[in-house]
Chains A and B, each alone.
Chain A
Amino acid sequence: MHKRDFTRRAAMKSLLAATALAALPFAAAHAADFDWRQKEGTEIHIGFSAHSMSDALVSMIPEFESATGIKVNYEIAPENDFRVKLNAQLAAGDGSVDIFMTGPSTNWEYSAGKWIEDLQPYVDNPSLTDPAWDFADFFTNAVDVNRWTGEEFGGLGTGPLYAIPMNEEGYSLTYRKDVLEKEGIAVPETVDELIAAAQKLKGVEFEGKVLDGIVVRGQEFWPTLITGYGSVLAAYGATDLNADGTSAADSPESIEATRKWVELLKAGPGDIASYGWEQAQAHFAAGNAVFLLDADHMAEVFENPQKSQVAGKVGYALAPSGPAGRGSGIWLWSLGMNAFSDNKEGAWLFIQWASSKAVMARTVPYGNINPTRRSVAEGPEMTEYVADWGDYNKVWTENLEKHAKWRWNPSTSFSEAGNRWALAAQESFTLGTDPAETLKAAASDINAVMERVRAAAQ
C-alpha cells in the first residue's frame, strides 16, 4: 500500500473533497434532467486490480452511494491474482462481478468469449448518460484503443466500445538532467544518439556511484514488446503483420530495430534480461541509470523524495526517433462491464460517475495519471500535481496526441504471439545470436499461433 504523506497532495485532496461535497447539491440541482437515482436500491460489485486508480475510486465510493442510492461492494487484488480470478469468473458465466478493470489486450480475450459488454449503447442512451458527461472530452486515441470489431488480426479502433479509459500510459525517454549536464551530453533525439550516449555513460562515476547507461525492461514477455522495445520498433517502421497477414517479426525494419535494441541493452545493467517494469523503475529511482525508456508516468515515483533518490533531477523527452519517425505504444487501464451482470444500468452509472470530469480530476492526486480527458489533462489538478516535474505535462500530452498508438493487431492470441517476439529479442541479447535468426524463428512460431487461432475461429 502507498503511504500518502506527501503533504501537498494531502492538502489538494482535502481541498478537492471539500469542493466536491459543496458541489454535490449544486450538481444534483443542475443536472435535474438526468436521474442519478434511477437504480436506487440496487447493488453492484467491482473487481479492482491493485493500482492508484483503485485506491482513489475506493475512497470516493461513499459519495457515489449517497448520490445514487446504489450499494457498492468491491475487491482489490494484485494484478496477476486479479486477472486469474476474473478469468475464472467470466469463463464460468459468473455475473457476480459487474465492473472490472481491463485494458486493450484483455478486452480482446473477453470479447472473443462474449464476456464483456458493449458500452456504446449506454453512452448513446440519453436516459442513462448525462450529457454533461461529455464523451467528446476523452482523447480519441484513448477511447478507440478500447474498440474492436472482433475480427482476428484486424478491426482495431472501430466497432463496439468495450471499456471507458481511466488512465493512459505512454512510453518516452526519462533521463538524469544532472548527469547529462555534468558530462556535457545533449538530450538524445534519435535512437543512434541514445545508443551512443548510453554506451558512453555506462560505467561513469557520478557522486560516488557507478551508473549504468540505460535501464529498460528486458524480460521475454509482451509488455516489453509494447513499451521501450516497441518504441524502437516503431522508430524503424516495424509493424506486426505483413500485408498478406503473416507475421512481420522478421521484416528488415524489425531486424534492424532489434539490433539497435540489443545495443541499448548492452549499455544497461548485466542482469537486464530479468528486468520487468518494477525492476527498471526501482533501478532508475535508486539513481543507478542515466536513461530510462519506458512508461512516462513512472515520474510519479521518481519525483517523490520518499520513493526515489532522484527527485528533482529528472528530465523528460519524447522517445528517440528513427528513420520512420517517432513512435510510442500505449496502455490504458479502463473500466469494463460484465456481459453476465444482473445490474448493467447500475454498473454503467458507476462507470459514468468514475470517468466524469470531476471524479477523474480528483483521482489525479492519488497518482492516477495520465488522465484520459483533455479537460483534466489541462486542468488545475494535473497542472498542480506535475508542477515541479519540468517538461512532464508537455511531453506526455504531445505523446498521446501525436505518437502513442496501439500498434498490434488485435487477437485473442496476442499475449502468446507477443511473448514469442519478446523472447526473440531477449535471445538476441542473452545468447548473442543475430536478430535475423531469432526473429525468423519467432515469425514462424507466431504464424503457427495465428493459423491455430484462425482455424478455431471458423
Chain B
Amino acid sequence: MQTIPKDRRAPFWTESRLALLFVLPGLLLMIGVLWPFLQGVRWSFSDFTLTRPDALRFNGGANIVAVFKPGTPEFAALTVTLKFAVSCVAIQTVAGFAVALLLNWPARWTKVFRVLVIMPMLVPPIAATIMWKVMLIERGVVNYLLQAIGFGGVNWFGSPTMAFWSIVLIDTWIFTPFVILIMLAGLQSIPKEIVEASHVDGAGFLARLARIYIPMMKPFIVLVALFRGIDSLKMFDAIWSSTKGGPVGATKNLHVFAYEQGINYLNFGRSMAALFILWVLCYGLSMALLSTRRARAAQ
C-alpha cells in the first residue's frame, strides 16, 4: 500500500478536533466541579460519617425524604429557609424600590444620599452582624433608644420570634442598598417622555406607579428577586455569627443545619441531603425567574 504524501493527506487538526481542543480546558474545569458535586449527591443518598468513611451505606434517600417529613429537624430547617427567603425578598424589594423612588428625585441632596445609602453594603456581613449583635443585646443601644422614646425594650435575640426578625433586620440593613442600586438604575432607564406625558395627562403618583414604573421595572424586579432570593435561601453569615440557629432552632435554616451536621457532627450524609435540597430550591428559583425573561424576550 502506498502512503499518501503529506500535503495530500487530510489535516490532523480538522475543524471539529480543533473545536474540541479549545473546549477541553472548560470541559476539564466542568468535570473538576461536577466530580465533587456528584460525590456530594452520592453522599446525600447514603449514611456517611467522616470518622468511619468505610461505613458509607446507600440508604435509598432516607435523609432526603426526611427534609420533607414534618416533625424532623430538616423539615423545620426547610420551613425556616422558606420563611427567611420570602420575608427578606419581600421587605427588601419593597423598601429598596421605595428608597430608589425617593433617590430618583431630581434634587441636589439626592446625590449625597445615593452615596450614603450604599455604605451598609460595604461592611463585611460578619462585621455587620457582630455590630448589630452588640447593639441588640438586652442592655444595648437599640433598647436604650426605644425606652428613651417610650417603647419598652425588645428581647431581640432571646425570643424565637424576635431572633428571626433580628436576622431579617440585619440582612435587610446589609443588602437593601444592593436593591436600591439596581432599582435606581432601572428607574433612570425609564424614558423621561413617558413620565412627562403622564404628568400632562394628569396621572397621580399611584397611577404612575402602577401603570408606568412597575411594568417598566419588571426586568429589574425579576433581577432583584433572583439575586436576593437565592442569597436569602442560602443565608449563612448573618445567622452563624449571631444565633448559630437561634433559640430553639428558630433561625436554623437548611444551610446552618447542614453546616452543623457536617462540620460539627461529621455526619456528611445528612448534611449533603439538606444541601442538595437547598441547591434544588436555588436552581428552581433561578429557572423560574429566568424563564420570565425568556418569555418577555419572546414577545
Q: Is the CB of A271 within 8 A of B265?
A: no
A455: min CB distance to chain B, Å: 9
Judge whether B51 and A270 touch: CB under 8 Å: no
Tell me whether A273 and B247 are in contact in the complex, defined as CB-CB below 8 angstroms, given that A109-B51, A113-B51 are known contacts: yes
With a cutoff of 8 Å between Cβ atoms, the chain A residues found around residue B266 in the complex are 87, 91, 109, 412
Interface 0/1 of B132-161, CB less than 8 Å to A: 000001110000000000000101111110
Decide yes or no: A113 and B139 within 8 Å by CB, A274-B157, A423-B248 being known contacts. Answer: no
Interface centre among A219, A270, A419, A456 (most CB of B within 10 A): A270
Tell me the bound Cα distance from A75 to B139 in angstroms: 37
**Chain B 183-196 interface mask (CB, 8 Å, partner A; 1/0):** 00000000000000
| Residue B49, interface by CB 8 Å | yes
B129 within 8 A of A: no
Cα-based distance from A396 to B168 in the complex (angstroms): 43
Contact A456 B55 (CB under 8 A): yes
A431 to B158, CA, bound (A): 11
Q: Are B265 and A413 in contact (CB under 8 A)?
A: yes
CA distance A269 to B51 in the complex (A): 39
Q: Are A456 and B247 in contact (CB under 8 A)?
A: no
Chain A 253-281: CB-based contact to B (< 8 A → 1; otherwise 0):
00000000000000001111110000100
Question: Would B50 and A87 count as touching, CB distance under 8 A?
Answer: yes
Q: Of residues 158 to 208 in B, which have CB atoms within 8 Å of A's CB atoms?
A: 158-160, 163
Q: Is A118 part of the binding interface, using a Cβ–Cβ cutoff of 8 Å?
A: no
Chain A residues near B264 (CB-CB < 8 A): 415-416, 419
Contact A113 B157 (CB under 8 A): no
A231 interface residue per 8 A CB criterion: no
Nearest-neighbour CB distance to chain B for A453, whole angstroms, equals: 9
Partner pick for B248 among A112, A279, A413, A427, CB 8 A cutoff: A427
Q: Is the C-beta of B219 less than 8 angstroms from some C-beta in chain A?
A: no
**Most A-side CB within 10 Å, residue of B52, B139, B248, B267:** B248
| CB 8 Å contact bits of B247-274 with A (1 = contact, 0 = none) | 1110000000000100111110000000
Known contacts A109-B266, A271-B138: A430-B52 contact under CB 8 Å: no
A 278-309 binary contact with B (CB < 8 Å = 1; else 0): 01000000001000000000000000000000
CB atoms of A430 and B244 under 8 A apart: no
Which residue of chain B has its CB nearest to the CB of A414? Answer: B265
Is the CB of A107 closer than 8 A to any CB of chain B? no
Minimum CB–CB distance from A441 to chain B (whole Å) comes to: 10
Interface size class, chain A: 20 to 34
- CA gap between A430 and B243 in the complex, in Å: 14
Q: Are B50 and A113 in contact (CB under 8 A)?
A: yes
- Say yes or no: is A370 at the interface (Cβ < 8 Å to chain B): no
For residue A93, give the distance in angstroms from its CB to the closest CB of chain B: 10
Contact of B159 among A288, A413, A415, A430 (CB under 8 A): A430
In the complex, chain A residues whose CB is within 8 Å of the CB of B249: 220, 423
When chains A and B are docked, how far (Å) is the Cα of A242 from the Cα of B246? Answer: 30
Indicate if A426 sits at the interface (CB-CB under 8 A). yes
Set of chain B residues within 8 Å of A84, measured between Cβ atoms: 263
Known interface pairs A412-B51, A456-B49, A456-B55. Does A274 touch B163 (Cβ–Cβ under 8 Å)? yes
Give the size of the chain B interface in residues (CB under 8 angstroms). 31
Out of B50, B158, B160, name the residue touching A91 (CB < 8 Å): B50
Residue of B at shortest CB range from A452?
B47
Q: How far is the CA of A277 from the CA of B50 in the complex (A)?
A: 28
The reply to whether A430 and B50 contact each other, CB–CB distance below 8 Å, is no
Smallest CB-CB separation from A445: which chain B residue?
Answer: B73
Given the known inter-chain contacts A87-B266, A271-B155, please indicate yes or no for A112 contacting B51, CB distance below 8 A: yes
Tell me the residues in window 425-450 of chain A with beta carbons closer than 8 Å to chain B beta carbons.
Answer: 426-427, 430-431
- Chain B residues within 8 Å of A415, by CB: 264-265
Q: Is the CB of A271 within 8 A of B51?
A: no
Nearest-CB distance from A273 to chain B (Å)? 4
**B59 smallest CB distance to A (angstroms):** 11
Q: Which residues of A contact B155 (CB under 8 A)?
A: 270-271
A288 to B140, CA, bound (A): 12
Give the distance in Å from the alpha carbon of A419 to the alpha carbon of B245 in the complex.
Answer: 12
Q: How far is the CA of A91 from the CA of B51 in the complex (A)?
A: 7
- Bound CA–CA A92/B244 (angstroms): 27
Please state if B263 and A272 are interface contacts (CB–CB under 8 Å).
no
Closest residue on chain A to residue B158 by CB atoms: A271
A269 with B159, Cβ < 8 A, contacts A112-B52, A113-B51, A456-B49 known: no
Task: Give per-residue flags for A139-182: 1 if the beta carbon is below 8 A from chain B beta carbons, else 0.
Answer: 00000000000000000000000000000000000000000000
| A413: chain B residues within 8 A (beta carbon) | 265
Known: A109-B266, A423-B248, A426-B247. A273 touches B139 (CB 8 A): no
Given A270-B155, A273-B158, A456:B52 Cβ within 8 A: yes
B49 / chain A contacts, CB cutoff of 8 Å: 412, 456
A138 smallest CB distance to B (angstroms): 28
Chain A residues with Cβ below 8 Å from B267 are: 416
- When distances are taken between beta carbons in the complex, the residues of chain A under 8 Å from B163 are 274
When chains A and B are docked, how far (Å) is the Cα of A401 from the Cα of B97? 65
Q: What residue in chain A is nearest B267 (Cβ atoms)?
A: A416
15 cross-chain CB contacts under 8 A: A87-B50, A87-B263, A113-B50, A220-B249, A270-B138, A273-B159, A274-B163, A412-B51, A416-B264, A419-B264, A423-B249, A426-B247, A431-B160, A431-B248, A452-B47
Using a CB–CB cutoff of 8 Å, the interface residues on chain A facing chain B are 84, 87, 91, 109, 112-113, 219-221, 269-274, 279, 288, 412-413, 415-416, 419, 423, 426-427, 430-431, 452, 456-457
Interfacial residues, chain B to chain A (CB-CB below 8 A): 47, 49-53, 55, 137-139, 153, 155-160, 163, 243-249, 260, 263-267
